[in-house]
Amino acid sequence: MPRIIVGKPLLPNKGVELWYRRKLFALVDFMKKAALRELEAPYKELIGEAALDASVSSQMRIRLNKLVIELELKFGSMADDLAAAFVSRVEKQSGFGFRASLSFMLGGDEVLRKAGFLKAGSSMTQPMRETLKAAVAENVALIKSIPEQFVSGLQSKIYQSINQGGGVGTIAKFVQERFKVSKNRAFWLAFDQNNKASAAVNARRMDDAGITKWKWVHTAGSFKPRDYHRDVLNGQVFSMGEVPIADPKTRERARPGFLINCRCVAAPVIEV
Ligand SMILES: [Zn+2]
């Protein structure tokens, strides 16, 4: 029977999540300011008196269109760089974590090098490039979806209010409501994408390093831990290419950290 050595679990880096969250929050703040400037400020002196009538309605359409263009430009110009910077931070921290995990398992860089687990010089493989590219593309799309959802939510609220004879004063309230929704989404986006991108990069890194097995590790960090992950998958060892059933109801297969809000991680396993 080969002896099994388990490395430290490959955890997502909390600092990267906080950094990403901060950047997304700044974009969401920008969005709120732009909306208030475009939609509320022109009517400020009327607040409380004027109804959102037909004349306001056509102006509002023009202003909403202007807002869409402004936000598309802002988010469009930021999304690529922000997503790339985020994924590059994930990759870098994953590298540190991976080395620490193996060092713990095998004892020092020298042993790792001899065992062939640390490649000299550049170790960025083509499959790793593909993994990073996919994570960047996913995040670009998610970042760009923030203003889309914000404006469409705002739009339907405002038009609904116009139809029901609501006052101009409700605009600021709607902006504030939609701002909260967007901020909450940005919070989860940073949390979830950090887990997911880290899990993808770590799986790729283990594969690239020639690790053949990994262990499912449930961590206490999840807001809503899945019983199945905590009680069944936790501690099980799988082959590198194996993707176990992670949801017994839907039979969906996933690696740790891939299902929404899953905080589970993988630990590299070697047999000696
Ligand atoms: Zn989980």
Where does the pLDDT of residue 121 fall: very low under 50, low under 70, confident under 90, or very high at 90 and above? Answer: very low
- Residue 244 Cα to ligand 1 middle (Å): 12
Strand spans (E) along the chain: 4-6, 213-217, 237-239, 245-247, 252-253, 265-271
- Residue 140 Cα to ligand 1 middle (Å): 25
Where does the pLDDT of residue 221 fall: very low under 50, low under 70, confident under 90, or very high at 90 and above? Answer: low
- Residue 252 Cα to ligand 1 middle (Å): 13
Q: Could you report the per-residue pLDDT of 161-198, keeping only the tens digit for each?
A: 877 777 767 888 999 999 999 999 999 999 999 999 99
- Residue 138 Cα to ligand 1 middle (Å): 21
The protein residues having their C-beta less than 5 angstroms from ligand 1 (an ion) are 229, 262, 264
pLDDT for res 110: 63
pLDDT for res 122: 46
User: Could you tell me which residue, 97 or 123, shows the higher pLDDT?
Assistant: 97
Average pLDDT score, the chain: 88
In a domain, 247, yes or no: no
Dihedral pair phi/psi, residue 243, rounded to 5°: -120, 105
- Residue 72 Cα to ligand 1 middle (Å): 35
| Domains held by the chain: number | 1
Distance CA 199, CA 263 (A): 10
What predicted TM-score, i.e. pTM, was given to this entire model?
Answer: 0.88
* 50's tokens: 């004027």
Kindly report each contact of residues 30-33 with a partner whose C-beta sits within 8 Å and lies 24 or more positions away, as own/partner.
30/74, 31/71, 31/74, 31/146, 31/147, 31/150, 31/179, 31/182, 32/175, 32/176, 32/179
- Residue 267 Cα to ligand 1 middle (Å): 14
Q: Could you report the per-residue pLDDT of 5-23, keeping only the tens digit for each?
A: 888 999 999 999 999 999 9
* 195's tokens: 């887990």
- Residue 263 Cα to ligand 1 middle (Å): 5
* 158's tokens: 């405002």
In a domain, 263, yes or no: no
Q: Could you report the per-residue pLDDT of 145-168, keeping only the tens digit for each?
A: 999 999 999 999 888 887 777 776
- Residue 22 Cα to ligand 1 middle (Å): 25
Q: Which residues contact 246 (CB under 8 A, 6 or more apart)?
A: 228, 229, 233, 252, 253, 254, 255, 256, 258, 259, 262
In a domain, 241, yes or no: no
Distance CA 272, CA 4 (A): 6
- Residue 120 Cα to ligand 1 middle (Å): 34
The pLDDT of 72-101, averaged and rounded, is 94
Nearest to 148 by CA among 78, 64, 85: 64
- Residue 21 Cα to ligand 1 middle (Å): 21
pLDDT of residue 56 exceeding 80, the answer is: no
pLDDT of residue 79 exceeding 60, the answer is: yes
Domain holding 64, by residue range, is 14-209
In a domain, 177, yes or no: yes
The pLDDT of 75-84, averaged and rounded, is 96
The pLDDT of 31-37, averaged and rounded, is 95
Distance CA 199, CA 95 (A): 12
In a domain, 262, yes or no: no
Given strand 265-271, what is the order of strands in its sheet? Answer: 4-6, 265-271, 213-217, 237-239
pLDDT of residue 3 exceeding 60, the answer is: yes
